[in-house]
């Protein structure tokens, strides 16, 4: 007889670990299988987000923001410091410590909530059975009434440009560089490219970013991306649009990148480290047995309905391995909703109200549709915007650039592009709002959940 649970979750990223904890809170016996190995060679919970994504990138953004302020804007405040220097191994060590503390915290939460943790690779078999291959190779079959797939995502590789972890890196490598590269190249001016490009630029690298598309940050409202492009340029990020990379070869200690620029002319770029950040894809390799009954869509994601049900009965999928934005808080919201549905409660995630934040300077944050998206969809809009240059707090912070823009329906006045709220909220209202991660406002979310003893990130 295999060990039987109410719920088995495969993947302990922010989608999976939250689903496992919420299921346990609701009185369901819950297990979570995860195969991530941390920098110290030991199993580490928390998935991409805690180990090699949101948290470590924000730790490095914070360290380098401090250094940049010290070397650039402290003098405006009348503060001088002699011989500012950055010790990269200390900066990376601080980041590693934060990661270890947080991933260890998930293990503690699992214990407190009685979530059974399996370190190993999970494969969904027919009949909601899960084959767990432990790190030492031993295989165990466990089964459940419901299985939640939360296997996350992995970086897309450009054919012919393999990651070597030293010169050509993905997010993992870019977060673990031991000395400031003189020349830091990036392929892909998306969220990772801009955040990691900012990290290394602030502490002295020459940063060149090659982007395939002719427009900059198409995801963002054009009024906002225009200002961002101007500010990034002032900071010295060299962003080249409309580039087609044809090859990148490691020769000795440098990477030689061949590309054609926007005019079609052949160009070469030489860098010490090349980050390839051209998007991520669902991590489904080895996850599903042939007869699992779970379908993938044309993009290789696990196909789900509006409530995260897959094509197999009582098998659900959440987070980066399904449609929707690849964001930690989106996955967590799906994890909570699915656990609540399994427990017979109501649960739903509105993908139109998931907030985005790009943690560069300036930070870019938005929720809802851009003006262009509204126009493309034939929605009549009216817009309002306000520059931070006219906000005293922004001036006091030396950050008087950029603007806030609100897009509303021209006839109904319904806010479509920014959801700012002023209302008599109940704690349930606050608990139901999807808060961006990592932000200080997550504490409001957790405190509101705590009102009913269902906070996720502390034992209730």
Please give the positions annotated as active site.
437
- The answer to the question of residue 369 lying near ligand FAD (CB under 6 A) is no
Instruction: Decide if 177 contacts 200 (C-beta within 8 A).
Output: yes
Q: Which of 359, 416, 417, 445 binds ligand NAD (CB under 6 A)?
A: 359
Strand 30-34 with 139-149, pairing? unpaired
User: Site map for ligand NAD, 395-434, x if CB under 6 A?
Assistant: ----------------------------------------
Q: How many residues bind ligand NAD (CB under 6 A)?
A: 24
Q: Which of 187, 312, 342, 416 binds ligand NAD (CB under 6 A)?
A: 187
Q: Which of 88, 134, 227, 357 binds ligand NAD (CB under 6 A)?
A: 357
Taking CB within 5 to 8 Å according to partner kind, which of ligand FAD, ligand NAD, none is near residue 193?
A: ligand NAD
Q: Which stretch binds ligand NAD (CB under 6 A): 83-91, 122-130, 184-192, 288-296?
A: 184-192
Q: Angle CA(145)–CA(306)–CA(365) in degrees, nearest 5? A: 120
Q: How many residues bind ligand FAD (CB under 6 A)?
A: 37
Alpha carbon 262 to its chain centroid, in Å, reads: 29
| Residues 271 to 300 in contact with ligand NAD, rule: CB under 6 A | 277-280
- The answer to the question of residue 388 lying near ligand NAD (CB under 6 A) is no
- The answer to the question of residue 119 lying near ligand FAD (CB under 6 A) is no
Six token digits for residue 282: 């669902």
Q: Which of 328, 339, 407, 434 binds ligand FAD (CB under 6 A)?
A: 328
Largest CA distance in the chain: 72
Give 72's DSSP letter: I
d(CA 128, CA 110): 22
Nearer to ligand FAD, 272 or 320 (CB): 320
Buried b (16+ CB within 10 A) or exposed e, 17-50: bbbbbbbbbbebbbbbbbbbebbeeebbbbbbbb
Six token digits for residue 334: 């799906």
Nearer to ligand NAD, 438 or 450 (CB): 438
Helices (H) and strands (E) in the chain, counts: 12, 20
Residues 6 or more apart from 85 whose CB is under 8 A from it? none
Q: How far is the CB of 156 from ligand FAD (least distance, A)?
A: 11
- The answer to the question of residue 139 lying near ligand NAD (CB under 6 A) is no
Taking CB within 5 to 8 Å according to partner kind, which of ligand NAD, ligand FAD, none is near residue 397?
A: none
| Residues 122 to 181 in contact with ligand FAD, rule: CB under 6 A | 122, 150-153, 171
- The answer to the question of residue 402 lying near ligand FAD (CB under 6 A) is no
Region of 58 please: left (phi>0), alpha (psi -120 to 50) or beta.
Answer: alpha
Which stretches within 293-441 are classed as H helix? 328-342, 371-376, 392-396, 427-432
For helices 191-202 and 222-235, what crossing angle results, to 10°? 30
Q: How far is the CB of 258 from ligand NAD (least distance, A)?
A: 12
d(CA 108, CA 384): 46
Q: How far is the CB of 415 from ligand NAD (least distance, A)?
A: 22
- The answer to the question of residue 283 lying near ligand FAD (CB under 6 A) is yes
Which stretches within 163-253 are classed as H helix? 171-174, 191-202, 222-235
- The answer to the question of residue 186 lying near ligand NAD (CB under 6 A) is no
Buried b (16+ CB within 10 A) or exposed e, 176-205: bbeebbebbbbbbbbbbbbbbbbbbbbbbb
Q: How far is the CB of 58 from ligand FAD (least distance, A)?
A: 6
The binding site for ligand NAD (CB under 6 A) comprises: 158, 187-193, 195, 210-213, 245, 277-280, 325-327, 357-359
Residues that bind ligand FAD (CB under 6 A): 10-16, 33-36, 47-49, 53-54, 57, 121-122, 150-153, 171, 192, 283, 286-287, 319-320, 326-329, 331, 437-438
């Amino acid at each position: 007889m295999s060990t039987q649970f109410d719920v088995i979750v495969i993947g302990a990223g922010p989608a999976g670990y939250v689903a496992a904890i919420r299921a346990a809170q609701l009185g369901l016996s819950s297990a979570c299988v995860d195969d991530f190995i941390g920098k110290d060679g030991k199993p580490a919970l928390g998935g991409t987000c805690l180990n090699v994504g949101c948290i470590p990138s924000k730790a490095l953004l914070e360290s380098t923001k401090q250094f940049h302020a010290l070397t650039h804007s402290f003098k405006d405040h009348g503060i001088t410091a002699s011989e500012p220097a950055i010790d990269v191994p200390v900066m990376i060590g601080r980041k590693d410590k934060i990661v270890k503390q947080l991933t260890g915290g998930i293990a503690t939460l699992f214990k407190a909530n009685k979530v059974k943790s399996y370190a190993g690779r999970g494969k969904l078999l027919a009949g909601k059975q899960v084959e767990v291959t432990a790190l030492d190779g031993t295989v165990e079959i466990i089964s459940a009434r419901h299985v939640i797939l939360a296997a996350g995502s992995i970086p897309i590789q450009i054919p012919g440009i393999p990651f070597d972890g030293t010169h050509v890196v993905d997010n993992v490598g870019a977060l673990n560089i031991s000395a400031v590269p003189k020349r830091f190249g990036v392929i892909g001016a998306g969220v990772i490219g801009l955040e990691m490009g900012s990290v290394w630029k602030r502490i002295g690298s020459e940063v060149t970013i090659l982007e395939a598309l002719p427009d900059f940050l198409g995801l963002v409202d054009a009024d906002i991306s225009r200002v961002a492009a101007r500010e990034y340029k002032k900071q010295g990020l060299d962003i080249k649009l409309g580039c087609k990379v044809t090859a990148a070869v490691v020769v000795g200690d440098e990477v030689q990148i061949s590309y054609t620029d926007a005019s079609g002319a052949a160009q070469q770029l030489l860098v010490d480290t090349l980050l390839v950040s051209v998007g991520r894809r669902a991590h489904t390799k080895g996850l599903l047995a042939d007869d699992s009954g779970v379908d993938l869509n044309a993009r290789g994601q696990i196909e789900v309905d509006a409530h995260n049900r897959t094509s197999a009965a009582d098998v659900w999928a959440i987070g980066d391995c399904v449609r929707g934005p690849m964001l930690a808080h989106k996955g967590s919201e799906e994890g909570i909703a699915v656990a609540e549905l399994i427990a017979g409660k109501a649960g739903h995630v509105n993908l139109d109200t998931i907030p985005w934040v790009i943690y560069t300077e300036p930070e870019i944050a938005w929720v809802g549709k851009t003006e262009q998206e509204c126009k493309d969809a034939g929605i009549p809009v009216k817009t309002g915007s306000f520059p931070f240059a006219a906000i005293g707090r922004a001036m006091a912070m030396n950050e008087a650039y950029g603007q806030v823009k609100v897009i509303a329906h021209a006839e109904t006045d319904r806010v479509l592009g920014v959801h700012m709220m002023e209302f008599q909220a109940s704690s349930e209202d606050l608990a139901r709002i999807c808060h961006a991660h990592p932000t200080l406002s997550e504490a409001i979310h957790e405190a509101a959940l705590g009102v009913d003893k269902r906070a996720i990130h502390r034992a209730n």
